[in-house]
Each structure stands twice: as C-alpha cells, then as structure tokens.
Structure 1
Amino acid sequence: ALLKFSCKGREPSCFGYPLSIFFIIINEFCERFSYYGMRAVLVLYFKYFLQWNDNLSTAIYHTFVALCYLTPILGALIADSWLGKFKTIVSLSIVYTIGQAVMSVSSINDLTDHNQDVALYMDFFQVDEGALSMTGLILIALGTGGIKPCVSAFGGDQFEDDQEKQRTRFFSIFYLSINAGSLLSTIITPILRAQECGIHSKQRCYPLAFGVPAALMAVSLAVFIIGSGMYKKVKPQGNIMIQVSKCIGFAIKNRFRHRSKEFPKREHWLDWASEKYDKRLIAQTKAVLKVLFLYIPLPMFWALFDQQGSRWTLQATTMDGNFGSIQIQPDQMQTVNPILIIIMVPVVDAVVYPLIKKCKINFTPLRKITVGMFLASLAFVAAALVQVQIDKTLPVFPAAGQAQIKVINLGTDGATVQFKSPLQSVNVMSMESTGYMTFDTSQLQSVNIISGNKNTTEVIMLPGGSRHTLAVKNAANIVAKWVSLLNSQDMFINNLPDTINITMGDTPFETLMSFSASNYNLFPGGRKDNIMAIINSIPCSVTSKTLGFGSAYTIVINGCTGNTLDVTYSEDISPNTVHMAWQIPQYFILTCAEVVFSVTGLEFSYSQAPSNMKAVLQAGWLLTVAVGNIIVLIVAGASKLSEQWAEYVLFAALLLAVCIIFAVMAYFYTYSDPNEIEAQFDEEEKKQVKKDEDVYEKQTEAVSRM
C-alpha cells in the first residue's frame, strides 16, 4: 500500500482514503461471513441435529432473526450515550465471538455421548445441546445487532469534511464487502456441514460449519483492534432517539393534562411539547413520525423475505440437488439471492430505471416500494406452485391409528405373507420386497408366513403412526423378524450366518449378528460411497448405487464373491424428483422485489429524514425487519394449515392486502425536503439573533446616554 502523511494532521492514508477504513472493511467482511455462514445452516441444524420438527425449527429461526434486528436499538443507545462507537464494537464483538464458539461446542455430540465426565457435568447442571445452542444464539443476536448501527457510522467518522467523494465510495465498498461475505459463507458453510466428522462417531460436521464462522469472527475482532491507533474516535454526544422519545412523551402527557376547552387546540398534537422543547426538534420529530407511519405495513414484506432461510431451505430438502457434476445442498440454494443481487442492482439502476423514465412514468420511491411488495407476494405464489408439485412426490406416512408394513424376503424360496384382520395376502419372491402397506393397528392381529412346505404365525402388536419392516427367511425353519420398528429405518441387514462389520464411506456401522439390522444413518444425497464389510476377517467391498436426495434404503448383505460384496437394495423412501432448479424463479422474483424495496426504502428514509434524525429512521427501518420475523411466528402458529403450499398462499395473500393498504397510504403522502425545513429554521434563528443584537445595541446606546 502507498502511504502518505499530510501536513494537516490527518491519519495515514492510502490512495486518498484513510488507512483505518481498510481495517473496518475487512472487519465487516469477516463479521458478515460469520453471521450469514452460521445462519445458512441454522434451520437444518435444528431439524437434523436437535431433531426438532419443521414448525419449531422455523419458529426458533425467525425468533433469532427478530432478536438480531431488535438489538441495534440497544447498540445505538450504548454507543451514543455511554461507550462510544469504538468501545461498543469491541465489547459486543467479544460477546459475538463467544456466542459463535458456544454454538460450535453445542453441536459436538461426541463429547457427551462418549465422555462420562462431561455427560455427568452437563446432567448435573441440566444443560443440553438445545439450551447451549439457545445461549449461543442470544449472545450472537446481541453482538451482531449491537454492532450493526455502529460499524458503518464509525467508518464514516474516519473521513474529513472535504472527503465527501471518498466517503460515498467507502459506503459502496462497505456494501460490497457485506455481499461478498454473505455470498462466500453461504457457499462454504453448507459444504462444511455436509462433511463427516466426529471424535468417536461420524456425524454431519456442524461443529466445523459453526466453528469456521466463529474463527472468522475472532479474526474480525482482531483486525478491528489492530487498527485502533489509526481510528478517529468521536466521543459519545447523546442519543437523539432519547430526545425524540422524551419530546413525544411530553407532548402526549401535556395534551391529556390540558383536555379542558379553555386551552386552544393546536395544529398538530406534537405542538403540545412546545412549552419544553424548541420548534426545530418538534418539526424534525414530525417529519420522522410522518415516515415511521408509512413503515407500519412494511414488516409484512420481511415476513416473506426472511423465509428464504427457513421454509424455502426446508422446501429444498425435499428436492433433487443434482446439477450434473455439482451436487447442491439445500442450504446452498440461499446463495442464489446474493448472486442475483450483485447482478440485478447495476442492471436495475443502469437499464430498468432509465427505460421507465424514458417511458415518462413517474416511478417514485413509494411506488417502487409498492411494486417490491407485490413482487414478493408473487414469489410466494411461485413457491406454492413448486410445493404442490413436491407434495405429489412425497411418501404418505401413517396416521396416529395406523401402521405401515413392508416385507423383505431374504430366503431362496418365494413366500406368501397373510395379514389378519382384515385378511390381506401378498406374495414376495426371493430377495425382493413389497411396498409399504397401511393397516389400522386396532384391527391388525397376526401374520401367517408360508414358504415352501413350511409356515409360521406371528402375533402382531405394533404402535401406530410408524413404519415397520418384516424380514422373512426360509432356512431350516421359517424365520420372521421385525428389523425396523417405530420411526427408525434400517440401512443394512446381515443375511449371512456370520457376524460382520460394515463401513460405508467414512461412516462405520455397528457390528451385525446373523439376521440382524443396523440403525439408519444419514448420507449426502446424489453421491456414491464404498461399502466395506469384514466377513471372517476377509474384507469385501462394492460401490453403492447413487443415493438419491431424500431417499431411504435398506441394503441386504448376501455374501462375498472374490472380495466383491453381494448386496440387494430395498427402497424405503423414493428419491426426490422435483429439481432444486425450480426454486430459481421464486428466488429471482424475490430478489427483484428486494432490489426495488430494500434499496429504495433506505434511499427514501435517508432523503426524508432531517440530518440529525437519520439514525432514528435507520433504527425504525431495522425494526420493521424484526417485526416481520415476529409476524412469521404469529401467522405460522395461528394458521394451523396442514399443507405447506396453503401457508405460502396465505402469506402471499396477506402481503398483497398490505400492499394495497400501503399504496393508498403512499398516494396521500407528501414528499418534503428536510434541508429546506432546516434552512427556514436557520433563517429564523439568524433573524432572531439579528433582532437580539439590535435590541442589545439600543440598550447599550441608552445606557451610554445616561
């Protein structure tokens, strides 16, 4: 880097920019990588690691996001009223880093599964992975939200008054670093999650998926502290939000105190604060409240937008991610949004808006926001259409009073299996299996198995709401065994007289006795793995068939010929057939909505806010994101819709209704120029000062004459 030192006492600079801002940009890149990387895999961590259902996973995810956008108000108050921006960023970044580390530790189930001392310690203090995860998320929400309003403003503080051009470019680079961190993290952390790792047993690598963001957050903090000596640190000067709140509170209190008719009505209810607060603050507060009133419908947009990381990611888990040589994980589909953002922002600014202007259409900021809301509603209609197609391919699971049974014939002869009552009979050829058959558990009593000239009867007592697999084999006698009970599904069945050890890829299975079954294990979809079995100390192997996304298989080990393993596959759940590429249209529409809604909203808020009130409207804008995520919790909890496509349609309809309401509000909104209002007050103050000076001079002359 080229360094130069000016004669005006400025900090070291590089290409005309303060050197300190490069530390801030690197800090922001690492922090955004940390946040979005962790958030990308969060809902799948809830579902597959903590074993929560889709609704609970979605609820906790949106609660966390809401907290992340509520805490910026707390961060702004701490920075402006107490610690200042630098100390606030450092303090809350430490909290942030600890939170990320806690999330990484909470996902290491090997520690508690195999270390008795750790397990006893956690049991004594009643700590489990879920509680530890919630602690980590609360710390992260406090950290990321608390520093959010401070970092960009702290970067702006580094410039001199005559560096307006450099300051504008800094904010562009700053925004680019946010998107770069988001894009890279949402590509990398799902890859890390899909790896297999563990101290004692193989598992999805959530410790690494959370650990890398934790390390990046530590790097972010270290880089920021290293630049400490170069920063221009502005002392806290009090928070304008507190003054605005006090002004509003006093006006309301004063209005109700003087409700009698003897007090004349005032033009605006805020004018009741004029006894205590100056006219400038009251006028600025009026302008802010005018914009905040328009914000009331906006949370509904964020209620839909932030479901990319929850409902849309869960939707992707039921889809096929095979893109030829590339296998896309469900959480990686979130990268479509930042990729499209990088493409769409310049296209919209350079092509779309100029074309609209040439058509002589007055595309005002509020009209852009209205269009953005309509497009987001349309995106959820597209998501609903995709969901309808997915639902056609999903397996039908048994209700509470039902059980589903499939039969696998492991013998050399055909078998007839008769269920009573009601009477239902199926013929199963050697080494073949049936599909799942549904029975009412209250009526299912017994099963009779006939193979060759032998037969046996088994009494059936199965719990409802689950799937079961019955393995039958005609050897010296007919052997019948339930190898899959309750909601578990088996991966391997040992059809040999010998005890065997099986490893698939890097995942070892438990030792299998003769005619016994292993537990079911998860593997990344769309790939092949090597199956290794040790039979009488002799290794035998075979490459598995391609494991389809969302599928489940029972693999029967039949023997070994020339070190080649003989296996038979029984498909428990069919692979996903709807391709993830069908999600791209809904992501594209939602990204277009974000470009015209979010970017325009920030621009509108900035242009309509008085110079010293921009932070207030920024906090209000962030608050709409928090409220939007709370709406998801309320609507998803209250709707009680059993079909996911119907929930998508419900959200689309709600946003469309809110869009119409906002369009009416926008129609009656009158744009204002805060600079003109402030200039009027400046002119009045000058006149008042001139008047006071004239009075003082006259009084001085009068005294001198005496």
Structure 2
Amino acid sequence: MDHPEEKEINDSNGETSKLTPNVVMTEQDKIPYPKRVFLIFGSEFCERFNYYGLKAILVLYLKNKLAYDPNDATVLFHIFTAMTYSATIMGGIISDVWWGKFNTIFYLSMFYTVGSIIISIGAVPLIDLSPNITLIIGLVLTAIGAGGIKPCVSAFGADQFKIPEQADKLSKYFSLFYFTINAGPLISTTVLPILRGNVHCFGENDCYSLAFGVPAALMIISILFFVTGKSSYTQVKISSENMILQIFKCIKHAVHTKRLERKTKPQKNLLDYSIDKYGIELVSDIRIVMKILVLYLPLAFFWTLFGQLGSRWTLQANRMNGNLGFYIIKPDQMILLNSLLCILFVPLFEIIVYPILNKIGVRRPLQKITIGGTLTGISFLLATLVEFKIVSSPMHSVNMLWQVPQYVIMALGEVLFSVTGYAFSYEQAPVSMKSVLQSFWLLNIALGNGIFVVITKMNIVESQAHEFILFASLMFVAMFIFGIMAHNFKNNTMLLK
C-alpha cells in the first residue's frame, strides 16, 4: 500500500517517480469551486445596473422633468451619493452584530427595491402623486439599501471559499467580482438613456418611468438570484461586537480615564489610558488605523471630482452635440465610457503599466495613488477647455467626442487611485481591522461628495469653467499635502516597505 502522501507512477519511459507535490495539489483540488458565488455575481450585476443606471439619468430627470436648477439638481445628486456611502458604516455594524451578512443583504435589498419602485411610480405623469416627494422618499430608501449592503456583498462571496486551501481561487473571485461591478453600469448606462429618450410614453416625448422601472425590475431579479442559494451558502457566525463600535468605545474610555488619572497615572499617549481594559493588541491596532485614517483625509477630494461624472460632466454633455453620423449619443450615455475604460485599463495596467512604473521607481501604493489623484485634476483641466469651447460656440454645436480625453484621463486616474487604494487599505490594516478600513475607505466617498455640496452652495465662482479650475486646483493641493503625509507615514510607521 502506498504512503498516503506519496504515489509512484510510470512515466512514458516506464520508469517510476514519486509525485508528492502533485498529490497535495490533488487533495486541494478535491474542494470544489463554490458555484453558488455565481448567484452572488448575478445579484451584484443587477444591483450595480440599478444603482449606476439610476444615477446616470437622475440629474437630467431633475432638470428636465422636475424643473430643478442645474446647481440644485447637482447638489441633490451628490447628497444622494453621500447618503449612500454613509450608510456603509450602518450596514457593516448591522451585519457584524445583529443580522449577519445574508440577512443584512436580503432585508436591506428590500428597502432598495421598494425605493426603486417608488421612484419609478413617481415618474408616471398620470398618477396623482408628487414626483418630488416620491423621488426623495425613493432616494432615501435606495441610499439606505445600496449603502447598507455594499460592505457585505463581496465579503459574503469571499466567505464561500475555504481558506487557505482555496486562496488562489479567492483571488480570481475578486477579479470576477470587480468585472461584475463594472459590467452592470456599462450596460445600464448604455440602455437606460435610450429608454429615457427614444421611448415615448404617457403622451410625452420621453419615458423616465420606464427608464427608472427597468432598474427596479433588476433589483427584484437581484434578490431572486441571491436567495436562490440560501440553503447552500456558507454563513459565518456573527460576533457580539462590531469592531467599529469597539474603536469608539476604546477612544471614549481613554478620554474618560484620562480626565480621572492624568495627574495620578499620566500616560504618554491618549489611547494608553485604555490598555488596562482593552489590551495592548487592540490599542496598537487602533493606533495604526487612526494613522491611516488621517492619511485618508486629503483623498476625499478625489471623490469630490469623480462624483461629477454623473452630474457636472453629464450636464456639460447636455449642452453638446452627440451626432456621430451613424448614431446620436445621449448626454447621459457618455458616462459609460468610464466603466468601459476601467474594464480595459485594469488588465492593461497589470500587464504593461505597472511593470513600467516599477522600472522607473514607482513601486509604492502611495506613489500610485498620488499619480492617480494628479491625473484626476488634469482631467478637470481638460473639462475646462471643453467648457470654454462650448461657451464660445453656438448652442449644441460642439461634439460630445470632445469629452473623450477627459474621460480617458479620469479612468487612468481612477485605476491608479481607487483600485490601489482598496488594496492599500486591505494590506496595511491589522488583521482585526481590515473590514473597518474598507468601511472607512467607502465613507471617504461620502465625505468627498459632502465637500462638493458645501463648495457648490458657497457660490465661490460664477462660471462652470472657473468651477472646474477650482476643483482641479483643490485636487492638486490635496495631492501635494498627501504626498508630504505619505512620506511621513512611511518614516513614522514603517508599514510600507
């Protein structure tokens, strides 16, 4: 009988050889790929179709149908985005402490679906409902649902793999997941503007109710995809405490204890006052997280600019000519360029760009993030040039293809900034804090959109071109500050090597 870890086989020359490593691989390969994750992919595709499709046509709906001023339409768009990403913290806490990932995704998806349906019904002109009120109610429910499930879905899919035996399959899963979250927006931003503009319903020359209704239907399909695998899903047991709550409790305890003991038992740092209750390991982990969160602060400006693809850039396209001769581009279709370019650029960067950057000394994640943010600022300078051209030309005479360069530079910046940022957050966080940092990375998106709302409401500039210049300048300043902070971060924490 063969040894369980060795097996002799005959090769083509009749000689025998021992293939111990092959047997180990065979044992690992006996664990089947969790096909149930494809239900999660399907669910995520439908959900992303809904979210980005809604955002693609939202500003034009506010401006053209509800008679919003362009500034007010843009502000509401960014408030909705900020609400969505603020809800990620809530979703993470609910998932960790009370409901678990499956129930959190399921119940909050119901909120999401109801919100989408309300928006669609409110857009039907024959129904005696206030479209403004129904839209606001629908957007609030959608924001709660979309934001609440965001920190749970990819993690729930990852839970279906057995680690470390399926570590290689898990990495491929994340690649497929990233493809899925871009494929949904790519299709929705292509199809929904056509339904909005080319279909005539209820006696009008457009059909926003259909354009909103299709995403609502996709959310129902998303839930059906997800619940189909309920009996086969691997569900991780929930903990009694959420790590984000632990962080706030630890800091609160430190502040309270310092007031009582700063004279009798002085400590070098604030968090040292919590070591007796929470332990040195948790306190050390919180210190690392706090240093990374401080580093995040200038990065919020990236999301201030990036969020304008669906607002300011769409409104800019709305004043341009989409006639290509063989096809007329809708202004809210231009944003599909972002998803398409990201899908193309991600593998291109892995194969060509990153090896080149490594050769010229750009290896650290923070360097790539800085370059990505700088490119984002440059994209807004290109948008400024387009804006000057629009203003100096007859209405709707400038072709939308003039926007392509700014979208290309923005997509290059996004890949360097966003994809690298997600990886940086995961790699640099302590084991106990990886989900926490991912949640705060998403919360930074809410902060960036909040910054846009504040700046817009201040009415600092009078023209759109000057506003683009303002945001580009803020991005460059933010990246300059970030570059200094990144250098100090390396020297002080030694996390980056």
| TM norm structure 2 | 0.91
Give the alignment of 1:362-511 within 5 angstroms.
362-393=362-393
1:87 equivalent among 103, 106, 110:
103
Name whichever structure is richer in helix by fraction: 2
Amino acid at match of 1:239: N
Residue aligning to 1:257:
260
Q: Does 1:658 align with 2:478?
A: yes
Residue aligning to 2:144:
142
SS of the residue corresponding to residue 263 of structure 1 reads coil
Amino acid at match of 2:170: R
- How far off its partner does 1:673 sit? 7.7
Residue aligning to 1:192:
195
Q: Does 1:175 align with 2:178?
A: yes
Check the 8 A contact 1:608/1:673 in 2, yes or no: no
Deviation by residue 1:294-327 (Cα, 9 ceiling, x = unmatched): 0111111100011000000000011010112111
List 4+ stretches of structure 1 deviating above 4 A: 671-676
The alignment covers a number of residue pairs equal to 466
Check the 8 A contact 1:110/1:198 in 2, yes or no: no
Tell me, in whole angstroms, the C-alpha distance in 2 between the residues paired with 1:352 and 1:164: 26
- How far off its partner does 1:107 sit? 0.5
1:166 equivalent among 161, 166, 169:
169
Residue aligning to 1:609:
429
Amino acid at match of 1:109: P
Q: Does 1:598 align with 2:423?
A: no
- Structure 1 residues 590 and 272, CA gap change in structure 2 (3 angstroms): same
2:34 equivalent among 10, 15, 18:
18
Check the 8 A contact 1:33/1:182 in 2, yes or no: yes
Tell me, in whole angstroms, the C-alpha distance in 2 between the residues paired with 1:244 and 1:169: 32
SS of the residue corresponding to residue 483 of structure 2 reads helix
Larger Rg belongs to: 1
SS of the residue corresponding to residue 276 of structure 1 reads helix
Residue aligning to 2:120:
104
Amino acid at match of 1:92: L
Residue aligning to 1:324:
325
Tell me, in whole angstroms, the C-alpha distance in 1 between the residues paired with 2:208 and 2:273: 57
- How far off its partner does 1:658 sit? 1.2
Tell me, in whole angstroms, the C-alpha distance in 1 between the residues paired with 2:171 and 2:153: 15
Amino acid at match of 2:413: A
Residue aligning to 1:133:
135
Deviation by residue 1:255-291 (Cα, 9 ceiling, x = unmatched): 233333x43442x321111121111111111111111
Check the 8 A contact 2:362/2:368 in 1, yes or no: no
Tell me, in whole angstroms, the C-alpha distance in 2 between the residues paired with 1:362 and 1:313: 34
Instruction: Give the number of the structure with larger relative contact order, counting CA–CA contacts within 8 Å between residues 6 or more apart.
Output: 2
Check the 8 A contact 2:267/2:273 in 1, yes or no: no
Q: Does 1:227 align with 2:229?
A: yes
2:464 equivalent among 633, 638, 644:
644
Instruction: List gaps (5 residues or longer) in structure 2.
Output: 1-28
CA-atom RMSD in angstroms: 1.8
- How far off its partner does 1:674 sit? 7.6
- How far off its partner does 1:198 sit? 2.5
Check the 8 A contact 2:197/2:205 in 1, yes or no: no
- How far off its partner does 1:18 sit? 1.1
Residue aligning to 2:17:
none
Q: Does 1:337 align with 2:338?
A: yes
Deviation by residue 1:637-681 (Cα, 9 ceiling, x = unmatched): 1134221101100111111111111111011112768899xxxxx
- Structure 1 residues 86 and 374, CA gap change in structure 2 (3 angstroms): same
2:154 equivalent among 152, 155, 163:
152
| TM norm structure 1 | 0.64
Tell me, in whole angstroms, the C-alpha distance in 1 between the residues paired with 2:347 and 2:171: 17
Deviation by residue 1:469-490 (Cα, 9 ceiling, x = unmatched): xxxxxxxxxxxxxxxxxxxxxx
Residue aligning to 1:629:
449
Residue aligning to 1:513:
none
